[in-house]
Amino acid sequence: MREHEQWITKAQEDLKDARTLCRSKSFSSTMYFCQQAAEKALKSYLFFKKQELQKIHDLIKLCALCKNFDHDFQKLTDVCELLNPFATKFRYPSEFDFPDLNDAKLAIKQAESVIKFVVKKISDPMVAQMEFR
């Protein structure tokens, strides 16, 4: 299995874990795993484009790096902005921030959209030919 395939597989696994956590009503962990799934999907695309691992967790920055190769990643900007805070937001108790089922379902839907988008990009034979620098 090629490196980018390993990363997309891990992203899909994180999304599966998010769904399991959601069913268990572990909504904070669901949110975290959704962010992780999106992060790994974006990194998968960067590996597909033969880029070195970016040791960042910021979805907005990762999406911008992907846009250097394909302007279609602009479509993921809002999703990345939504999911980005979940890398840390719910890791510690807060007086006001407790995600609920609706938050978790939305995060799962958004993470799934990032994964599907990336899978389509890395599965399309024309993508390997496109450079937008």
- Running along the chain, 133 residues long, what does each successive block of 10 average in pLDDT? 93 98 96 97 96 90 96 97 91 77 98 98 65 38
Identify the CATH homologous superfamily for domain 3-129: Nucleotidyltransferases  domain 2 (1.20.120.330)
Calculated CA dihedral for residues 37, 79, 73, 63, nearest 10 degrees: -60
Contact at 8 Å (CB) between 46 and 65? yes
Tokens of 59: 């979805």
Handedness of CA 120, 126, 127, 132 (dihedral sign): negative
Domain boundaries, the chain: 3-129
* Pair 77, 44: CB distance under 8 Å: no
- What integer pLDDT is reported at residue 1 of this predicted model? 82
Q: How far is Cα 37 from Cα 32, in angstroms, rounded to an integer?
A: 9
Q: Are 65 and 83 in contact (CB under 8 A)?
A: no
Q: What's the token pair of residue 92?
A: 């510690």
Confirm whether pTM is higher than 0.75. yes
Structure tokens at 108: 């799962």
CB 121 within 8 Å of CB 72? yes
Q: What is the pLDDT of residue 131?
A: 43
